[in-house]
Structure 1
Amino acid sequence: MTVVGACEDEDYWPEFGTLLVSDDGAHEGSGPFSRQDTRVQPCGTIVRTGHGWLEGAAGDGPHVVRMEVHDAAPGDDSSEWEDVVEIPYRSLSGKVGLGYVTGGFCGDVCTLPAAGAYRVRAARRQLAEDDADDLWLLRFWPAEPSPPRWFRRRAAAVPPPDPGWRTLFGYGVTDLLWGLWAARDDTGGTTTAALLRWGEQHGRSTTWLDEPLPAPGPHELDPADVARQVGCPVPATLGGMLDLFVAAGVLADDGGYREPSVTPNPEDVLELPVERRSRLIEQRDLDRFRSFAADLVSVVMWGGTEQTLAGLAERTLVAREDVRATLEWAARGDLLHIAGPLDGQFVTEVGPSTG
């Protein structure tokens, strides 16, 4: 194995949380291999690829991104990284560069041996320096397409479900819940004093917890109605919402506010309008499954149509029950078509694109 080309950007700022590598001056075409002509979540859990593009789940940045061109598969160094996945890439021009979602390149272009089929090993780890988030290493080498495979994950591909309490009220209440999380101590608890200190450090007034609650917007729950349902006094101020969340089971109060071991879903505590209840459940499933569903679509579109749950779990480093739940969600959303029993061998196809 020999490195035949390389380029690096030590200060890459992604747009919309997406690291983008694309072919120089080549059109992507259409269908599932097009970046624009798809209904799946950009990036997947780590990276997603097609004809002339690679997307990475990058967050805000800045990042250090290095691309290397190899003449054959590089040696295994997965233990040195937090995230590692190998995935096909088809180059349409023979030149690839780091760029932006809204268009254009932002540095040097790497020259591949020719247009055609490649495999990419995308590896990522957090940097110790305070002035950069992650180090990315993208290594390309010639190879015929075969389904992607994940070797390391630093975060769960299918996160635990978020009950969704933050989505039910106005900005002030959402900000309060965020502050409780951000100001927590080593034990996971937050006192009112710690919350006030956090507020002062982040531009809130010294009396922000005593500010009156604004009237709820058209798509927000009325705290007064929620208080009546959970049996607590109607809150008049932002700080009064803390007692409401304790009564609802969203917070535990043992001298400091903390999340309980199990947070109830709003629809199990409150009488919600049918439409609001449905939207809440749909959003919860969307947030939980959409990124890993994009990984599963990548497996299928790059040749992995015949599968078993055990095989997908091993390929993706995801528990079988989470693979099953994500497949079922993707099938309901028409992202994947599945023929055959999930408990046995089944055949999958990518659902219709937007084109």
Structure 2
Amino acid sequence: MAVVRVFEHDDYSPEYGLVVLRDPDDPGEPGDDPELPRGRDREDEPTGTFAGAGAGWILCQAGDGHHMVRLELHDGPPPADHAGFDDVLETPYRASSGGLSLTVLTGGAGPADLELGGAGCYRVRVARRRGGTEDGFGDRWLLRFWPDLAPEPPVWLARGRPAVGPGYDGWQSELQYEPMEFAGIVNAAAREHGGPVTVEHIDDWGRTHSRPSGWLDAPLWQPPREPLTTGHADLDERNAAQRAEVVARLAGQQRRLDEIAAELGVPLVRRKRDLLPLLAAAGILVREGPDGYRAGRPARVDTVLSLPPDRVRSVRLQDARSRYGPLAEDLEAVLRWAFPAPLQTTAAELAERLLVSEAELRDGLVFAQRTGLLHADGGEPLRLWLGRRPSPASAAPTAPAAPTVPAVPTAPAAPVTPTRMSVAAPMLSGPAPNSAGRSTRSFMLGAMARVAGDAADGRGMLVRFPQRNREEPPGPPFGAPPRAGVIEANGTLVGWRDGARVDLARLEAARWSRALQTRQGVLVVSHGHPARLVSAAGEVTEIDEVRMPGVMLLGDGRRVAVVDSQHRRRVSRYQLRVIDLGGGPVETMPWPDDRGISLVGAYRGTVFFTDHQARWATMRWTPGTDPERYAHPVQQVDPLTGTGSARKVEGITVVRPDGTTVTVPVDQMARLAPGGDRLWTVRSNPPALTLFPVEPGATVQPQVWWLPEDRRRSPQGTYREPVWEDTEHVLFGYHPWHFPREPASGVRLSVRDGAVERLPSTGPRGHSVKFVEPLLTP
């Protein structure tokens, strides 16, 4: 048998610890095999103990770090040469289009990385060699595909770890985060020390890892600071209430910890160091000698402490799920690919297929039946079905009950919000989807569709559709279009000259993150794609040196600063470069490339950045010189004045160009406005922009400018992140899911007098635009 095609990624970084492959054209519908789990067809895509596959997806459990993934297409079953791998699984896979995309969990399917040759059923052998090899790689993955017209259920060929998990002891939930974090610190210190550690060893480890001096004597529970003002009474009250809730929760945790200490017969815990006797009495740590500690293996918490019955049941269920949940998913996967149902086998055959002992198999079957993944009729040979066992009542056919007709109201109903649909409760009644069924969202959409059908058939169902509020006041007047232009959803870069629209360029479909006005034209940037520079004449130039959205424009408007970061395997490289958009030389800052940096801002010809290894100290660099440390740590620099700002416990500290500082006691979300003499924040529901003067003093008098809104409130609010058009005007675009009834692409707010005007509509209705960030000049 020959290899037909190969794809290899030697630096794959899993997201959420999962290797993800998807069919780019998978429709996400059940299709011909409703029992096969498809992407978006259920709440999860199970990986079991190692890996899993369905119709259009393959998921594998992976650790952190960078992995090597190799995909191979064979014209027939490849040789069984997997002796060097720790975990090996063979499973069927159903392809919708024949393409496979190596992606991440939240990334969706991109272009096909491996073409299988068409839709249909394939078999894939998933093999993993665990990391820790001498060349620095993480796990190595080899997935071999070949056509398989008669799919057989999955079979496990090698297991590097037991199929039964270690269990759940329950101490994390009982003691909460802080005590268990301290136990983790002790374990880490013991590993580095190579044996039991004393209090002095633990203290040294903590200070080496950024804990302050005296951290062991700090209170165990640190209440949150008093909230700073937001400039709005309702938000200040909300923040105060949230803080009170946290303080009450911490007090409850302290009371529970006191109860545990009393039950274990150890002193009460007030400081971090007081935890050592309690953790040792619980078995989480083991005491060796008079003052040494190392990691322990605690018994389950319900066998040590007196717990309420419901808590005992919860801990035992979590313990069983930790032990047998992945194995039960393996059993479920076997049944999903077994045609026809039921699967008839023996315990010995099934244990051999799963590569587990018969005792582990029977424990896994008990858990799988208890949780409803499958059911069996008992006896030998085994007969297994997916899902819960049908009850006698549900098995007997019954005549459908007549729908309940709601009473017609005699008085006018209350206005219905335009984003809601009110439906009588009986219309949504019916059996809930089983564990193999569609997601709750799909079920509700289907129920709503059935409701609409019932109403159309005249069955007496009551459906209330949104009603437009005809008396809603008109919006603000229209004003001029955005000064620097916009990018429409289809990639068209639009500008205006003498009030007339000009389509400067049509950029290819990419997720452009930002667009900046420069002296050389509009620079459009995104993550992982070369930037595009669009001139006033519409000429497009590719800037390959700029592939990150976090660029900073220098004061001359002709150069940009960018940090080029590469993360491969266990090594990260950083370079800060200044690129001349006019084709001039690229200047690279002299800096160790393994030392992490991130941009803060730019003023005139100087770039400000942070040094990660120096506790995020602020540095500055002017091309042609060596970088130097800036006297004040800042997180933002005003490009017009060079004023900086930093978030502090006391509020926002503003560093003026002459080195003097002013701390404004306002919420830490506040940022510098252009010009450096004001701080600004944005709120939603109702929307407003709030300005705070940069002045010394314990109190601040904010200026609040309210923005127009309609009745369709959403948790995300009406407007996107604003863009400052100049020092006196701010542009607000609409969220993609929230548009006004009258066409407009956003609003312009004047911070001189609070005047609001609508921006002319551009692009397709229902699609938001991205504002070009104007070039701000002094």
Instruction: With the length of structure 2 as denominator, give the TM-score of the two structures.
Output: 0.43
Find out whether 1:274 has 2:278 as its counterpart: no
Q: Which moved more, 1:25-34 or 1:330-339?
A: 25-34
CA distance in 2, matches of 1:41, 1:171: 29
Aligned partner letter, 1:306 = Q
Residue of structure 1 equivalent to 2:77:
73
Give the alignment partner of residue 281 of structure 2, picking from 247, 257, 268.
Answer: 247
Aligned partner letter, 1:272 = L
Aligned partner letter, 2:333 = S
**Would the aligned equivalents of 1:41 and 1:294 in 2 still touch at CA under 8 Å?**
no
Query: Structure 1 residues 202, 221: closer, same or farther in 2, change over 3 A?
Result: farther
Residue of structure 1 equivalent to 2:728:
none
Give the alignment partner of residue 88 of structure 1, picking from 88, 92, 95.
Answer: 92
CA distance in 2, matches of 1:65, 1:183: 34
Q: Identify the structure with bigger relative contact order (alpha carbons < 8 Å, sequence gap 6+).
A: 1
Residue of structure 2 equivalent to 1:5:
5
**Would the aligned equivalents of 2:24 and 2:111 in 1 still touch at CA under 8 Å?**
no
Aligned partner letter, 2:293 = Y
CA distance in 2, matches of 1:32, 1:208: 55
1:336 CA drift (Å): 1.1
What SS class does the counterpart of residue 48 from structure 1 fall into? strand
Give the alignment partner of residue 366 of structure 2, picking from 328, 332, 343.
Answer: 328
What SS class does the counterpart of residue 96 from structure 1 fall into? strand
Residue of structure 1 equivalent to 2:354:
316
1:197 CA drift (Å): 3.4
**Would the aligned equivalents of 2:220 and 2:270 in 1 still touch at CA under 8 Å?**
yes
What SS class does the counterpart of residue 65 from structure 2 fall into? coil
Find out whether 1:236 has 2:270 as its counterpart: yes
Residue of structure 1 equivalent to 2:259:
225
After superposition, residues 209-224 of structure 1 pair within 5 angstroms as: 209-214=216-221, 216=250, 222-224=256-258
1:243 CA drift (Å): 0.3
Residue of structure 2 equivalent to 1:203:
210
Residue of structure 1 equivalent to 2:690:
none
**Would the aligned equivalents of 1:168 and 1:220 in 2 still touch at CA under 8 Å?**
no
When the two structures are aligned, how many residues end up with a matched partner? Answer: 352
Query: Structure 1 residues 48, 218: closer, same or farther in 2, change over 3 A?
Result: farther
Residue of structure 2 equivalent to 1:292:
327
- Alignment RMSD: 2.4
1:242 CA drift (Å): 1.4
CA distance in 2, matches of 1:108, 1:141: 17
CA distance in 1, matches of 2:80, 2:6: 19
Residue of structure 2 equivalent to 1:194:
201
Larger radius of gyration: 2
**Would the aligned equivalents of 2:39 and 2:45 in 1 still touch at CA under 8 Å?**
no
**Would the aligned equivalents of 1:169 and 1:220 in 2 still touch at CA under 8 Å?**
no
Query: Structure 1 residues 269, 299: closer, same or farther in 2, change over 3 A?
Result: same
> Sequence identity, in percent?
36
CA distance in 1, matches of 2:333, 2:94: 13
Residue of structure 1 equivalent to 2:53:
49
CA distance in 2, matches of 1:301, 1:108: 26
Q: Deviations over 1:227-276 (max 9, x none)?
A: 1111121122122111012223333211332345x632211121112332
After superposition, residues 103-142 of structure 1 pair within 5 angstroms as: 103-105=107-109, 109-127=113-131, 128=133, 132-142=137-147
**Would the aligned equivalents of 1:41 and 1:291 in 2 still touch at CA under 8 Å?**
no
Question: Which sections of structure 2, spanning at least 5 residues, go unmatched?
Answer: 222-248, 388-433, 439-778
Give the alignment partner of residue 384 of structure 2, picking from 345, 348, 352.
Answer: 348
1:165 CA drift (Å): 1.2
**Would the aligned equivalents of 1:88 and 1:117 in 2 still touch at CA under 8 Å?**
yes
Q: Deviations over 1:14-69 (max 9, x none)?
A: 22222111112121323442243346673111110011111111132321111000
Query: Structure 1 residues 217, 50: closer, same or farther in 2, change over 3 A?
Result: farther
User: Which structure shows the higher helix fraction?
Assistant: 1
Give the alignment partner of residue 338 of structure 1, picking from 376, 383, 386.
Answer: 376
**Would the aligned equivalents of 2:12 and 2:67 in 1 still touch at CA under 8 Å?**
yes
CA distance in 2, matches of 1:345, 1:196: 60
Aligned partner letter, 2:178 = G
What SS class does the counterpart of residue 239 from structure 1 fall into? helix
Query: Structure 1 residues 198, 41: closer, same or farther in 2, change over 3 A?
Result: farther
Aligned partner letter, 2:40 = Q
Aligned partner letter, 1:288 = R
What stretches of structure 1 move > 4 A for 4+ residues in a row?
A: 217-221
Residue of structure 2 equivalent to 1:164:
170
Residue of structure 2 equivalent to 1:264:
299
1:287 CA drift (Å): 2.1
Query: Structure 1 residues 39, 284: closer, same or farther in 2, change over 3 A?
Result: farther
Instruction: With the length of structure 1 as denominator, give the TM-score of the two structures.
Output: 0.90
Aligned partner letter, 1:26 = D
What SS class does the counterpart of residue 349 from structure 1 fall into? strand
CA distance in 1, matches of 2:209, 2:383: 52
CA distance in 2, matches of 1:115, 1:108: 13
Question: Which sections of structure 1, spanning at least 5 residues, go unmatched?
Answer: none
Q: Which moved more, 1:275-284 or 1:151-160?
A: 275-284
